[in-house]
Structures are given as C-alpha cells and as structure tokens.
Structure 1
Amino acid sequence: MNEQRKEILQMLAEGKITTEEADQLIAALERDQPVPVASGSDVRPKGKPKYLRVMVDANDDGIPSRVNVRVPLQLLRAGVRLAALIPAQALGEANAELTRSGLPFDLTQLKPEQLEALVEHLDDMTVEVDQPDTKVRVFCE
C-alpha cells in the first residue's frame, strides 16, 4: 500500500473525512497511477515466482470440469537436486520404465540450472487442446 493511500485511510479512521471523500481521494489516486498491462483476464504480480500452476477448464458433453493445481517450485527444485544423488544404474532403470510407460524422458539430462531457466521463461503459456471447449494454462506465480 502506498503512503498516500495510508494517509487517506488514517484520516478516515480519525473522522477527519467521510467515507465518500475517502473514496473520491482513492479514486483520484488510482487515476494518476499507471494501469498494469495484463495478458488475459487475470493480473498476477511480477516478482520471483513461488508456484507452478496448471489450470484446465473443460466442458465435456455439457458438463463443466475444472482442474487447478499449484505446485511449490521449491518442491521441483528439491526433486531436481535429489535426482542428482540417484546412482546412474537406477537412473537408467527409471528412464527405461518411463519410456515403456510412453514417456520418453531422460532423467540424466535434468539439471538445476535448466529448471531455473524454465521457470524464468515460463511466464504465461496457453495451450490449445484438441477439444474446442478446453483451455489449459501453465504459468508461474
């Protein structure tokens, strides 16, 4: 909260101005401040992200469904650091099992600096899915 807004609220609390006057003063302050540019309908504060969020809005056969998952990035960072401690043979077995499951992913290539680069560049990504009534968003907040 900025200093001018605090002063207005303090004057209101002390009874020096009415609620209508406080509302007018705050509205005048907001007009004078630049409006943040938003991509889409929601505004997220910029700064060091703490969470990876995956949101899915779907409408299957007229039945709306929604998924909203928020994963702490610290958990992902810890997982990447722990993966570095896994013996090479175990990583090979894990990679083989991932491939058999239809997810060809090489855990030996997962490095902490790559995760940080991903987090840095993953601001707001929208993915269109095969179904027209489904929207998937992945972003950091």
Structure 2
Amino acid sequence: MMPPLPTEPRPPRILLAEDDDEMRALLTLTLARAGYAVVALEDGFELSDYVLLTQVCGGPLLAPDLILSDVRMPGRTGLEVLVQVQACGLACPVVILSAFADGETREEARRLGVNAVLDKPVDLEELKATLHALARAAVPYR
C-alpha cells in the first residue's frame, strides 16, 4: 500500500457577492491573483443560497473562510445575508463594501459583527491587506 500523498494547504475560500459585473470580475481576478479560491456570486440571493448549502448549514458545499459582500444588492443586502449566516452558525470573517456607507450602515455592520467596512471605489491594496490579515487570524494551517 502506498503512503498517502502529502497534502498542501488549500488557499482560503472567499465568497464574493457583488452585483456589478465589472467590479465582480475585477475583484475576482485581483483576489485569485492574491492566492484566494474565489466563489463569485451575483447578488444577495446567490450569497444566501450558497450559505444555506454549506456543510455548516446541512448542505454539501464547503464553508467559506471569508465573506466579501457589497452592501446594496438586488434582492437581499449583504447585511441581511449576514444575519442568516449567523443564524445557521457559520462563523467566518466578513468584509463589506459600500459606496453608501453612512453612519447608520456602519453601526449596523458593527452590531452584526462585520470585521471591516471598506468604501467604494475600493483600494485594492487595502482590500488585499484587510483580507490577508483576517485570513491569517481565522484560517488555521492545513
């Protein structure tokens, strides 16, 4: 019998929910180049569906290591999905992006445990640094 092959650490899996096609493509490419496995989703409904299908919530999909979501999206907002994430017990860092992050939105995000709120247009270097810090703190070596 052959010994098992050594396993390499897998890249952190990030759920990216962004309704703007060009922004989603830019973020997906940027994060993939930075070493993340990106699951790109088009809106709050897709993000909600993915969360419900994770193993944590009883489904077949692997849970994400991080969630990056726009706040304002058709159907469900990023903050509405965060409530669902918490209700099913999925515990991972969450970063939200917003072009409309007023004080009330920031306070709601803080209350819901969002790890960071970044303003649009997003500084890609700041985004990568934020996600890297959160991934290092939350994802054990595999």
Larger RCO of the pair (alpha carbons < 8 Å, separation 6+): 1
Q: Give TM-score scaled by structure 2 length.
A: 0.29
**Could you say which structure has the larger radius of gyration?**
1
Q: Give TM-score scaled by structure 1 length.
A: 0.29
Higher strand share: 1
